[in-house]
Structure 1
Amino acid sequence: MKLYKEKLLSELQLKRLGEHQYSCSSCSYLDKFLQPYWNWLVSKVPLWLAPNLITIVGLILNIVTALILVWYSPNAKDGAPRWACALCGIGLFAYQSLDAIDGKQARRTGTANPLGELFDHGCDSISTVFVALSACIAVQLGNHPGWMFFQCFCAITLFYCAHWQTYVSGTLRFGRVDVTEAQVTIMLILAISAIFGPDIWSTKVAGFSFRWCHVICCVFYLGYIQVFFAFVRNVAKGGCGKNGSTIAGTSVLSPIIPFSMILVPAFIIYQKSTEHVYENHPALYILAFGLVAAKVTNRLVVAHMTKSEMDYTDLSLIGPTMLFLNQYFSTFITEYYVLWLCLVWVTLDLLRYCYQICTEICDYLHVELFRIPHTGNTNTKRISSTSTSGNTEKNGTNIRNNKPPRSKKK
């Protein structure tokens, strides 16, 4: 008996995905100022470069530079080298820039399709984990593990909530203070740590630590509270489906079930650990649970694009279950080793899922993930005849190609 399905998407789901139209609204303060830069940047990109390749290169740069920071400060307490903070800031800037132009490149090359939207959101769900973690390491927030837990899981939760309300309303909405502002703020935090060193955040002025400035900034300026209440209002209005249901005709509260199966165990294991596995290894802990959340978020995006019900169970949840059962049996195995096993499992499961879902969509749409077909290739006729996110015009502009980068600190 296989642990996973041979086909993740049915023919009906693939058909609905092919008919999917991307819908997004944004009133971000910074987006309009960065648009000229993004337009200039995409004009320098060769036409043979595939949009999804641009996205994945940006994600790799972001992950690698963040992991360098993790390598030097896995407990988020030790001061990472200044150059590592600077490199992480550059990696985030590169990711933001490349994430902003992938849709523009799709429009330039006439290769926009639903796979591009899904691939973009999938990369953003992974990036969110590393961006949140790198911000905490840069200010040595591991000295306050409760705040670090709140910071990272708040970012992951709000990213999930953004796609939850999209599943409900059919439109992805960004506020005035949203992802772009969050990314720029974290770049500034990394720049300060690079210039003055991470210890600057421990300096006290009149008994007040600079590190708390970062916490307050994340909670209030970046609009955590504002974004959350906006999400509650949107969900409370009801969905675009029949009788106020979601786009798939399900309850507007249904997406809370799979995500609570991540958030609740993460908090319980953190609180009940006799070996203080989270306090001693916060980076490892957040990466493990964060990648599980990324997998579940990807499934929510797929459910939205295919107008289908979201499954409540997932193979990636085996990872947190191992930690939970180990605690239940009085830590029969050292929690540190189980945590590593959990991270390896969820990473492999996420990669397997992404590969399988992309392969199925590519086969259906007759496209290649990282390569633009030659002009006149007959295999592209399905795309040109299908109403997709990249071909949908709204108010005279292509709404996918002018999308803000999505990394819900989103």
Structure 2
Amino acid sequence: MSVPPMPRRTAYAVFAALAAVVVLVSTAIFVGVGGRDRNVNEAAQGTRNSAAPASSGSWVGTWSTSAAAAEPNTLRGLSGMSIRNVVHTSIGGTGARIQLSNLYSARPLTITHASLALAAAPSNPTAAAGTMRRLTFDNRSWVTIPPGQAATSDPVRMNIPTAADLLITTYAPQASGSVTYHPHARQTSYLARGDRTEDTAGAAYTEQSPFWRYLSSVDVWSKEAQGSVAVLGDSITDGITSTAGANHRWTDFLAERLRTEPGAPRLGVLNQGISGNRVLSDGTQFPPNNPSGLSRFGRDVLDRTNVKAVIIELGVNDILRIPHQTDPNKIVDGLRRLTEQAHARGLRVIGATLSPFYGHRGYTPLLDSVRERVNAEIRAGKVFDEVVDFDKALRDPAQPLRLRPAYDSGDHLHPSDEGYRAMARALPLDYLRGSAAAEL
């Protein structure tokens, strides 16, 4: 039996309905990974921004940091100031979104204006021509973040280069309580009085800062990257003695290897190091400053965007900091608990041996024996899925007890830039491929 032709008006209606479905599905694909659905309405924003392309790809973390504490002497926040954070991407993409944290304030934080741009030059507060984008939150130009919480922006369309400096600027007009910050950025950021959020020129940004404030992550929309690797660590990972502004932390050198070495997995690198961090113990304030690796692992590592592998470099401060942890079994147990949490998410864990601290003013043979016993368990494969031997990488092979010249001695015992590079070289990149978690 023949079927009569569909009336033209009905055909148009069907076509329109199908087109609407395609748009909805494309939008869902774009926003569905690593964050809640967002339908960016350019007219509602009042800007020239638009959502990133509705095409195949995924959200991937390109940069992040860990909220470490409440900034001293900021009980009223930094009201009336524009904060221009400078951060460095590990991978690029065609769209971006950010996360802001109010973890350490007892009061709501209201950001009334936020923007993202490429820096015109490294570590420079001036925006590259044509790159300034206003950021919105649920299609609003403002967001109020409750105490202890975080907020993610709507995505913006923008070509984000690999290994580039971004400017993320926020403005809060009213007192908002203590500022959540990361104190050892090894990067100069900037402040300006008044709302200078979308200033493309950097002239108003006359105050320099060694901190990152409020900003906790930047994601990019990528068709190439497979995901990201998140690194939980202490000051060694924080890169506390690396050259400021040069991006010479060992995680930066790892990101460089992932970008340039043939056959390397395509991954963003997320540095979740906090100087002085321990596996077992928090800091003394409330909420705890410098939260332990165990207490922050979910927020700082497992909940980051599209994490495919985890690296843990932690444990030395449990031994060196007062009160000293002299039971290696407690440290090993804490590291195993971190590994188990990652396994519950289907993630493999690469663990680092505890780096040497001979020459540190807190060194004693007893404390070093604790470190060696922890390392023996790590090397035996009883803690992590894979092991990277930072202890070996940072020793002088000619004098086993001594450290390489790339190490500093004194109150802070850390590598120089070349020491950080040696650490990155010690990590076999095959460890980062997306294999299933192992059974210990």
Name which structure has the greater RCO, CA cutoff 8 Å, separation 6+: 1
Q: Which has the higher strand share?
A: 2
**Structure 1 or 2: more helix by fraction:** 1
- TM exceeds 0.5? no
Q: TM-score range by the shorter chain?
A: under 0.3
Q: TM-score, normalised by structure 2?
A: 0.21
Q: Give the TM-score taking structure 1 as reference length.
A: 0.22
